Amino acid sequence: MLKSVCVFCGSREGDLPQYAEAATALGREIGQRGLRLVYGGAKVGLMGRVADAVLASGGTALGIIPDFLVRKEVAHTQLTEIRVVSSMHERKSQMAAAADAFIIMPGGIGTLEEFFEILTWRYLHLHHKAIGLLNVENYYEPVRNLLLHTHRQGFMPLATLDLLSFEENPAALIALLEKKALHEDFEAGKI
């Protein structure tokens, strides 16, 4: 059952207003569905927009942030819970442990690194949680094409793409992740 969603996204808002609009819509959807947001704990960029929308919708938000970013004054101080950790590695590990599914929004190299690590962990069966990409303005089409290229060159089975859900609409993406989470719980004998 989906209770907690980890969102990886940019600490910047990007150039298109659709990114910020999607972050707000996603946060609102998470909050209205009674899901807990797990994210990187910042008040800036798309990260801050998602968290603000979750909180404004009556939801809860867990931020996990390394101490060096707190010192740079980017920590969101209005969250339901904030955990200050010592490293980026600890941050990602705790975020993964606290979430039932993952949503990847547009972002930079940090977001891409988080995405590929969580996909790798899923591929290696280190977790069985659903992964969805919020494909705002087709932001993740180049990534999908890269993964197809990787398959065509013999470095990855095509089934790896089946581990991912690509969707433009936040509500539709969460619905897909909820369905996948129920399937995973059923397969694991939890329901």
Domain annotation covers residue 191:
no
pLDDT at 70 over 60: yes
Domain annotation covers residue 157:
yes
C-alpha 59 chain-centroid distance: 16
**Residue holding tokens 């705002």?**
136
Domain annotation covers residue 49:
yes
Q: What is the pLDDT of residues 18-36, one digit of tens each?
A: 999 999 999 999 999 999 9
Q: For residue 191, name the pLDDT band (cuts at 50, 70, 90).
A: low
Considering its fold, how many domains does the chain have in total?
1
Contacts of 127 (CB under 8 A, 6+ apart): 96, 118, 121
C-alpha 72 chain-centroid distance: 23
Range of the domain at 148: 4-186
Cα 38 from Cα 149, distance rounded (Å): 32
Q: For residue 1, name the pLDDT band (cuts at 50, 70, 90).
A: confident
Which residue has better confidence, 183 or 186? 183
CATH code of 111's domain: 3.40.50.450
Domain annotation covers residue 148:
yes
Domain annotation covers residue 107:
yes
Q: What is the pLDDT of residues 80-107, one digit of tens each?
A: 999 999 999 999 999 999 999 999 999 9
Please give the helix or strand (H or E) that residue 104 lies within, else none. Answer: strand 101-104
The model's pTM? 0.95
